[in-house]
Amino acid sequence: MAKPSKASLDMIRQLVEMPTVSRDSNLDLIHWIRDHLKGMGVESTLVHDATGKKANLYATLGPQDRPGIVLSGHTDVVPVDGQDWETDPFRLTEKDGLLYGRGTSDMKSFVAIALAYAPQFLAQPLQTPIHYAFTYDEEVGCLGAKRLIEVLKEMPVTPKACIVGEPTGMQVIGQHKGKKSWRVDVRGFECHSSLTHLGANAVEAAAELIAFIKALARKKKAEGPFDAEFAPPHTSLHTGTVQGGTALNIVPKDCSFLWEIRYLPQDDVDALYDEVVAYARDRLEPELKAVDPACGFSFTQISGFPGLATPDSAGVIELAKVLTGANRVSKVSFGTEAGLFSQEAGIPTIVCGPGSIEQAHKPNEFIALDQIAQCEAFMDRLLERVRGKAGPLPV
**137 is a catalytic site residue:** no
Sheet hosting strand 93-95, strand order edge to edge: 93-95, 98-100, 366-368
233 DSSP assignment: S
pLDDT of the residue at 128: 96
Q: Print pLDDT tens along the chain (395 aa).
A: 688 999 999 999 999 999 999 999 999 999 999 999 999 999 999 999 999 999 999 999 999 999 999 999 999 999 999 999 999 999 999 999 999 999 999 999 999 999 999 999 999 999 999 999 999 999 998 999 999 999 999 999 999 999 999 999 999 999 999 999 999 999 999 999 999 999 999 999 999 999 999 999 999 999 999 999 999 999 999 999 999 999 999 999 999 999 999 999 889 999 999 999 999 999 999 999 999 999 999 999 999 999 999 999 999 999 999 999 999 999 999 999 999 999 999 999 999 999 999 999 999 999 999 999 999 999 999 999 999 866 667 77
Contact 49, 55 (CB under 8 A): yes
pLDDT of the residue at 2: 80
pLDDT of the residue at 1: 66
- DSSP three-state, residue 119: helix
- Report d(CA 44, CA 49) in Å as an integer: 16
pLDDT of the residue at 391: 62
Which residue in 204, 181, 172 sits closest to 321, CA to CA?
A: 172
Contact 112, 11 (CB under 8 A): yes
3-state secondary structure 60-112: EECCCCCCCEEEEEECCECCCCCCCCCCCCCCCEEECCEEECCCHHHHHHHHH
Between the CA of residue 384 and those of 41, 315, 377, what are the distances in Å?
Answer: 22, 17, 11
**76 is a catalytic site residue:** yes
Sequence letter at residue 257: F
pLDDT of the residue at 393: 78
pLDDT of the residue at 19: 97
Alpha carbon dihedral 206, 210, 211, 214, in 10-degree steps, equals 180
Identified catalytic residue from 106, 137, 138, 139: 138
Identified catalytic residue from 10, 24, 65, 76: 76
Q: Indicate the pairing of strand 69-74 with strand 130-135.
A: parallel
Contact 271, 289 (CB under 8 A): no
pLDDT of the residue at 392: 65
- DSSP three-state, residue 128: coil
Contact 50, 147 (CB under 8 A): no
- Report d(CA 245, CA 147) in Å as an integer: 37
pLDDT of the residue at 353: 98
- Report d(CA 76, CA 78) in Å as an integer: 7
